[in-house]
Amino acid sequence: MTGLQTLTAATIGGALIFGMTLALLGRLKLALAQRVHLGEGQLRRLLLALNIALIPLVLLSGILLDIYGARLILVAGSAMLAVSLVGLSLRPTYPHAFASILLAGFGASALGTACTVLMPHAFYSAEETSASLNLGYVFIALGALLTPVLADILLAKIELRRTLAVFSLLALTPAFLGVLPSNEYWHIADHPGNLSTFLAEPTGWLAALMLFFYAPLEAAISLWTFTLLAERDQDEREATGLLSGFWAAFIASRLLVALARHMDLLTEGWDTILIIVPPMLAAVLLGNLAGASPHARPRSGLILLGLLLGPVLPTLLGLVFRYVAPAEQGTAYGFAFAAGSLGSVLFAPLIDLRARPPLQTALRLPIFLAVLVMVLALVLGLIMP
């Protein structure tokens, strides 16, 4: 493979494995709890600890990337993930599982940071950051969607220990590609980043605040789907199908945005519009769904929500990358993603409380979050040069 092909393959592999990690522990939690003899409370605390640990770990990963380069962080993250999955399969004790899951969190943070920073260089160009990130985030979503299916197949045919071994081998793929002979395509910045320089840039702060409210918005919509169908006496199978449609539309919209920009179908300034208009339309759509007839079926509404919200995150990160120096892109991503993780953790109890019938109550929080995201996007669009 050429140098650019190697970089592209490593970035795609890292994105798929990062998405895999986001879905894997949630899918295997019951089998893992049985192996490690965990009670429901212990398991909940274990996963909560992972979500909380991601906040400083992803920020640390971004700072380290700006100091040591994306290649080293990609390889290290991939290796840590593989080791952590092997560790989970070896000793069925709670302290060992806790340490392995924290290591998995650090590995996932490093891998996600590295492949996100590499996407503009691996795909279109450093000038087309939003289009490149929309394409790259298609692979993250695919990794998250395909992992539960693969995990179910493996668990049905082999036991948990061998299933974790298979996923650990898959997790090593980016590391293998990253250690191939060096080339100029891995080089992003001429000097290490400066944290104080980044913190003085308001764009990064506003983007982080947007993600603080946007991340729980996605989670609220997922829970709202089950609330809606429970209220209307529909079964879990239909809810799962609706959510699958939502995520399919989510992925499709990112791919459409990437291809449209690559084909010059989008005019200059499209990315700023894309972080303002979709949250506004999503708030309107959620309001309409809240006031719809109790007998209505919101299939098209949920698909439309996926189409609207899919490109928001990668487009927002693309805007941030355009207005920070290459040497601070790791820190910018880490700061933004940490803010989103913090928002998810803090809003999780409120989302769970609100995700109950009646539907009008369940939809208040996502409507509120969508409006906040829209307002912050307007401010961000006004201050950008």
SS3 content of the chain, % helix, strand, coil (to 5): 85, 0, 15
* Amino acid in the structure at residue 97: A
- 276 and 171 belong to one structural domain: no
- 21 and 143 belong to one structural domain: yes
Mean pLDDT along residues 341-356: 76
At 188 the pLDDT is 73
> What global pTM score does this model have?
0.88
Helices 236-262 and 129-157 pack at an angle, to 10 degrees, of 150
Q: Which residue's entry shows tokens 């399919």?
A: 248
Q: Which of 136, 154, 186 is the last residue of a domain?
A: 186
Q: Of the segments 55-69, 81-95, 269-283, which one has the largest average pLDDT value?
A: 55-69
Q: pLDDT exceeding 90 applies to what percent of the chain?
A: 24
Alpha helix locations (H) across 91-187? 94-122, 129-157, 160-171, 173-178
* CB-CB contact of 174 with 18 (8 Å): no
- 153 and 170 belong to one structural domain: yes
Q: Which position has the higher pLDDT, 382 or 216?
A: 216
- 152 and 199 belong to one structural domain: no
Chain-centre distance for alpha carbon 334: 12
**Is it the case that residue 137 has pLDDT exceeding 90?**
yes
**Is it the case that residue 201 has pLDDT exceeding 60?**
yes
CATH of the domain at 346: 1.20.1250.20
- 143 and 217 belong to one structural domain: no
Report helix, strand or coil for 26.
helix
At 359 the pLDDT is 56
Q: Which of 164, 186, 208 is the last residue of a domain?
A: 186
pLDDT class of 10 with cuts at 50, 70, 90: very high
**Is it the case that residue 378 has pLDDT exceeding 70?**
yes
At 91 the pLDDT is 66
Instruction: Report CA-CA distances (Å) from 235 to 69, 123, 225, 306.
Output: 49, 42, 11, 21
Q: Which position has the higher pLDDT, 32 or 214?
A: 214
- 260 and 130 belong to one structural domain: no
**Is it the case that residue 356 has pLDDT exceeding 60?**
no
At 92 the pLDDT is 64
- 40 and 117 belong to one structural domain: yes
Report pLDDT digits (tens) over 316-328.
998 888 888 888 8
Alpha helix locations (H) across 232-328? 236-262, 270-290, 299-309, 312-322
Q: Which position has the higher pLDDT, 193 or 124?
A: 124
State how many domains the chain has: 2
Q: Which position has the higher pLDDT, 40 or 280?
A: 280
- 16 and 109 belong to one structural domain: yes
At 260 the pLDDT is 87
Expressed as residue numbers, the domain containing 90 is 3-186
- 217 and 172 belong to one structural domain: no
Q: Of the segments 174-188, 201-215, 239-253, 263-277, which one has the largest average pLDDT value?
A: 201-215
Lowest mean pLDDT among 25-29, 60-64, 232-236: 232-236
Report pLDDT digits (tens) over 225-273.
666 655 555 556 666 677 778 888 989 999 999 888 777 777 777 888 8
- 271 and 225 belong to one structural domain: yes
At 285 the pLDDT is 85
- 32 and 177 belong to one structural domain: yes
Q: Which of 186, 214, 248 is the last residue of a domain?
A: 186
Torsion of the alpha carbons at 7, 11, 12 and 14, rounded to the nearest 10 = 140
Closest CA to 168 of 80, 69, 268, 243: 80
What CA–CA distance (Å, rounded) separates 223 from 225?
5
pLDDT class of 87 with cuts at 50, 70, 90: confident
- 269 and 310 belong to one structural domain: yes
